[in-house]
Amino acid sequence: MRQPELLTRTRAFALAIIRFHNQLPRRTDAWTLGKQLLRSGTSIGANYREAQRSRSTAEFISKVHIGLQEAEETGYWLELLIGAEIVTSAAASPLLREANELCAILISVIKAAEERHRQERSQ
C-alpha cells in the first residue's frame, strides 16, 4: 500500500472510531473502555503521519511500530466492548476487521523499512 493511501485509510479509521465512540451507551464501563478506544484508534494515523516526517529510517520504523501497537490496542478494546456485551459483534466487527488489517499493513511497512535500513547500513 502506498503512503497516501495508508494516510487516508488511517484517517478514515480514526473518524469511524470517533463516530463509534459517540454511539456508545452512557455507562461507566462503556465510557471507560470507549475513552481508551478513542485514544488508541485515533493514534494509529497520527503516528503513521508523524513517521512520514522522520529524519531517518530507524526513526520511521520506531514511529510505525508505535502505530502498530496502537492498532493492536484498538483491537483489544473492541474485543472487550464485545465481550462485555456493551456493543454487539455486528456493530464492532467492521472496526475490528479494519484494525486487524491495519496491523497487517503496518507489519509489512515495518518489514520493508527494516530491509531498507539493513541495505543502507551495509553500503
The full set of domain ranges for the chain reads 3-122
Rg (CA), the chain: 16
pTM for the model stands at 0.92
Residue 122 CA to residue 72 CA, distance in Å, equals 32
Nearest partner of 17 among 57, 83, 75, 84, judged by Cα:
75
| CATH for 3-122 (1.20.1440.60, 3.55.40.20, 1.10.540.10, 1.10.3210.10) | 1.20.1440.60
Question: Is pLDDT at 95 greater than 80 in this prediction?
Answer: yes
Confidence label for 97 from pLDDT (cuts 50, 70 and 90): very high
Q: What is the pLDDT of residues 37-53, one digit of tens each?
A: 999 999 999 999 999 99
